[in-house]
Amino acid sequence: MNDNAPPTSVGSGSTGRIHPGTSCAARVVRVVAAVLCALGLSAVAASPARADPTAGGDLQVAQTLGDRDLTFMLRRVTGLPGPLHVDVLTHRGTAAGTLRLGAVPTGVSADRAEGSSAGTTTSRASVRLGGTPGSYGAALDIDRAGPWELVVDDGSRTARIPFVVPGQATSPPELAVFGGFVTAGVLILVTLFVAVRVRRGAWVLLPAGGVVAALAVAVTAALLSASLPPPPQPGGQVDATNDNVTDPYAVVRPVTNDYSRPPVSLELGSYPATAGERGTLRLSVTDGATGLPADDLVVHDGALMHLLVIGPTGELWHLHPIRTAPATYEVRLRLPAAGHYAVSAEFARLGGGVQQVRSATGLTVADGSAHNGSARGGSSRNGSARGGAPALPAELTPQGPGTRTIEGVPVRLSAPSPTAGEASTLTARIGDTPTLQPWLGMVGHMIVVGPLDKADATSPTRMGQAAQGAPVWAHAHSMGGDMSGHSAHDMPAAPAHDADAMGHGDAGGMEHGDADAMGHGDADAMEDGHETGKGDGHGAGTGSMSGLMPLNGDSPADETVAAYGPDASFVYTFSRPGYYRVWIQAERDSAILTVPYLLRVSPAGGAR
Ligand SMILES: [Cu+2]
């Protein structure tokens, strides 16, 4: 819009130099100039909300690559051709080594020439991971807009991470605004020329009318563009192709705006490893309607797929399988105990809809000691399930609310009398200082499984089986500290948004609606509040969710920012009374802490 100021100033500046001979024409020109100024100002004041579907920040993808838990940050490509900066964040215990990265364009195009190199690696780089947790970077060359894959090879397996490089598209309303102002500018010159040269003043009305018409078009387009829905977003709502990424507006708009897709079937491959051995679990995702491979998972909460595995001892794994081929994922596991493991995956398909799919089968791990002598790996957790219950390590033993120590970190959970059907607030204070790092974009994660009967919920050998049949698996997030203290001083501008962000947890069951709240696209809503919120949150030391919010369309804080907590609050409504297993996860000192709890939820209506 501001680019269009020159025609305006040309018009008004020129009034002073009008030839005095044609008073009628001069009056017309003055009127035109006044109208122009007024319209110009109104148009600037009501600057159109750019319907830019491709605006986005960095892409954050967690990957369990072999034995390494890595987070890949794909920085936004700001110009084409240009570099794609990839930062690999490592955690405590990540082995040093070298990863080979490659960029592969995958987009098809109606234009043969443009799509011809799809599938070939156009750029390579390598990242040398050090032995200490940190960020290790590399840059790849990106030469076109469209769908791409980042290929990551650790020497024995290859992860393929899909991402979309947005094009620079101009929306039709923008074109109308530019066109209108340029036309108006040209016609003003014509008007002036006519006014000065032509004897009969009436002729000047013709180009002057054109000026008004052109301005009307420009201003109308500017005002209406704010209310026009953006086109479907390639890679977010519809499959990305080279064509629709380059110009989303060129694609014929469907009459529906429901882009949702059917649920999927999650199939587990056979898991050959025995207890204590390393083994690879393959997962395939097929479309529930067609049975075809569903290769349209989008990054949701910082990963393509969140895999939850609950073992017989009640140990929880929260892993992020790598995508090795279309609709095929795999993850390396070392399951320490024999017995049944319940498996659930959470992901979002393109077009919306987070799904949490529990594997109908789970997996059963045989006792490895029969032919292995003793389980390999020698961890204290490798107790055999045979011959009575092994003693659970203290860190795996679930406890009720209170203080306990996990990996040397004191953790205090408060959960004031959780009651079925009522929103409960669980607050975990992890450590004493606000040094939590946002893992997967969140200060804390809470996994809930239940209700179970007490014997199952406390069994050191049957928890996997019990989880397999539990009515509810839920996953709630904490965006920051205690909400009660939050509204007092933080972010007066965006309270509604906060309520959203925090409110998702009380939806019960599998619902998981915080993708919006984390702001893949809603930077506008956050623009007002983030600065004060961030400052307050850090200063107050009790943490604020606001610092996690993306600023101006940028990305939320990543794991390199250790400034949250120590409180992580979760709001969740237990639908039924009974015993629940709860795991709270947070990142501190570049390591993920997993804290198991056992909660008893009272029946509604005061019957305690
Ligand atoms: Cu996850």
Within a domain: residue 264? yes
Residue 508 tokens, joined:
């019960």
Instruction: Please give the distance, rounded to the nearest whole angstrom, from the Cα atom of residue 225 to the centre of ligand 1.
Output: 38
Same structural domain for residues 42 and 187? yes
Instruction: Please give the distance, rounded to the nearest whole angstrom, from the Cα atom of residue 306 to the centre of ligand 1.
Output: 4
Low-confidence ranges of the chain (pLDDT < 70): 1-56, 112-116, 251-257, 352, 369-391, 480-557, 562, 606-608
Same structural domain for residues 366 and 486? no
Residue range 526-557, pLDDT digits in tens: 333 333 333 333 333 333 444 455 555 555 66
Same structural domain for residues 469 and 578? yes
Instruction: Please give the distance, rounded to the nearest whole angstrom, from the Cα atom of residue 40 to the centre of ligand 1.
Output: 50
In the block, which residue shows the tokens 């493991």?
A: 341
Alpha-carbon distance of 418 to 578, in angstroms, equals 10
Instruction: Please give the distance, rounded to the nearest whole angstrom, from the Cα atom of residue 214 to the centre of ligand 1.
Output: 53
Beta bridge partner(s), residue 409: 406
pLDDT of residue 489: 34
Instruction: Please give the distance, rounded to the nearest whole angstrom, from the Cα atom of residue 282 to the centre of ligand 1.
Output: 17
Residue range 201-252, pLDDT digits in tens: 788 888 899 999 999 999 999 998 888 777 777 877 788 887 788 787 776 6
Please report, for the domain that includes residue 298, its CATH number. Answer: 2.60.40.10
Instruction: Please give the distance, rounded to the nearest whole angstrom, from the Cα atom of residue 448 to the centre of ligand 1.
Output: 14
Instruction: Please give the distance, rounded to the nearest whole angstrom, from the Cα atom of residue 510 to the centre of ligand 1.
Output: 15
Same structural domain for residues 438 and 347? no
Per the structure, the complete domain to which residue 196 belongs is given by 2-52+170-225
Q: In whole numbers, what is the pLDDT of the chain averaged over residues? A: 75
Q: DSSP string covering 396-409, please?
A: TS-B-SEEEEETTE
255 Cβ contact list (under 8 Å, min separation 6): none
Same structural domain for residues 24 and 138? no
Judged by DSSP in three states, 111 sits in coil
Please report, for the domain that includes residue 76, its CATH number. Answer: 2.60.40.1930
Residue 188 Rama label (left phi>0; alpha psi -120 to 50; beta): alpha
pLDDT of residue 33: 57
Same structural domain for residues 283 and 361? yes
Alpha-carbon distance of 511 to 148, in angstroms, equals 30
Same structural domain for residues 356 and 334? yes
Within a domain: residue 250? no
Domain count, the chain: 4
Within a domain: residue 359? yes
Instruction: Please give the distance, rounded to the nearest whole angstrom, from the Cα atom of residue 474 to the centre of ligand 1.
Output: 13
Same structural domain for residues 80 and 121? yes
Instruction: Please give the distance, rounded to the nearest whole angstrom, from the Cα atom of residue 334 to the centre of ligand 1.
Output: 18
Same structural domain for residues 8 and 123? no
Same structural domain for residues 65 and 120? yes
Same structural domain for residues 160 and 174? no
Instruction: Please give the distance, rounded to the nearest whole angstrom, from the Cα atom of residue 190 to the centre of ligand 1.
Output: 64
Alpha-carbon distance of 250 to 231, in angstroms, equals 9
Instruction: Please give the distance, rounded to the nearest whole angstrom, from the Cα atom of residue 425 to the centre of ligand 1.
Output: 22
